[in-house]
Amino acid sequence: MRTWRVGTFSMGASLIFLGLFLFFSKFLDLKLVQILTAWWPILLVVLGGEILVYLFLSRQEQPVLKYDFLSIFFVGIIGMAGIAFAVLSSTGVMGKVEEVMAREVRSYDLPAFSYKTDDSIKRVVVKSVGYDMTIEATEAKEVSMFGTYRVESAKKTALLKSAEDIITANQKGDTLYLNFKMLPDEMGPFHSQGLVAATILIPHDLKLEVVGSNDSLSLKPRTMINDWNIESTSAVTVDVLKNSNLKVEAMGVEQLRGKEWKVSEETKGNEIEAAQKSAVYQSGEGKYRIHISNAYDVKLNTNQ
């Protein structure tokens, strides 16, 4: 009478198959998830075949089957893992995990943007969504933008195909509205926000209004001949020429940097708090004004 411990051969075969798959995956560029989801049903075939083969070969005798529960448990663990991977793959979760694991930080150029201006446009309004920006006055008769953006992505192609993917321009009456968009990204537990560093060129004779969103803003007025109004930005740096006809006002600021400010402090009602600061810098007659409000940090750089 022969005794056969069912499960021993299956466990050995499972270890051999798994080892071979993992070994060749290094050379054939196979993915572990695909391997586990593809080969685990073979375990059931091997286990059932082991029983049938033994019964067939020992039909002349009275076979006694004993089950190697430890081996069967090990085979079952591998099988359950394969089922779990298959379920996760069918729901798309494993695809997301693979994508996150393959992500790299990549930098790309922003798509070129330009908008021709004429005498009908008197004002430009820029609404940000928290990206770092540099705004510079120019003598060109167009509003333009260039820069870079950085994202975590498994794809080697740029996320932004055209300027409309990051900014929209709409003219209403005498005002041109520029609205920034968030970088495309999929929400979820692995969400990460990209970074944008953009430079916007504004015709120096147009009035400018910037509505920030706790972002960092660098202003280069150069030869501006109109007023600029900046609101709700976290940090503002202003580079001015000493021979310019400019007045810079910073109202309700927590921190001021620069030696040229004329500072006055104002308390908030009767509350015992650190006073917000208001300051003014003037070059020449101060005909044109940059007004900054609701900012945390304002830095003034004066250049020859």
155-167 confidence digits (pLDDT tens): 677 788 899 999 9
Residue 111 forms beta bridges with which residues? none
H or E stretch at 84: helix 69-91
* Token pair of 109 as six digits: 């150029």
Task: Classify burial at 40, counting beta carbons within 10 Å of its beta carbon; exposed 0-12, middle 13-18, buried 19 or more.
Answer: buried
76-121 confidence digits (pLDDT tens): 676 676 666 666 666 666 556 556 555 677 888 999 999 999 999 9
d(CA 275, CA 198): 33
The closest of 154, 213, 144 to 182, measured between CA atoms, is 213
d(CA 104, CA 107): 10
Report whether pLDDT(63) > 60. no
Q: Tokens 């071979």 map to which residue?
A: 20
Burial 128-144 (b: 16+ CB within 10 A, else e): bebbbbbbbbbeeeebb
Contacts of residue 265, defined as CB under 8 A and 6 or more positions apart, other chains included, come to 275, 276, 277, 278
For the chain, the structural domain boundaries read 3-101, 105-303
Report whether pLDDT(27) > 70. no
pLDDT of residue 287: 93
202-260 confidence digits (pLDDT tens): 999 999 999 988 788 999 998 899 999 999 888 999 999 878 899 999 998 889 999 88
pLDDT band at 264 (very low <50, low <70, confident <90, very high): confident
d(CA 227, CA 176): 15
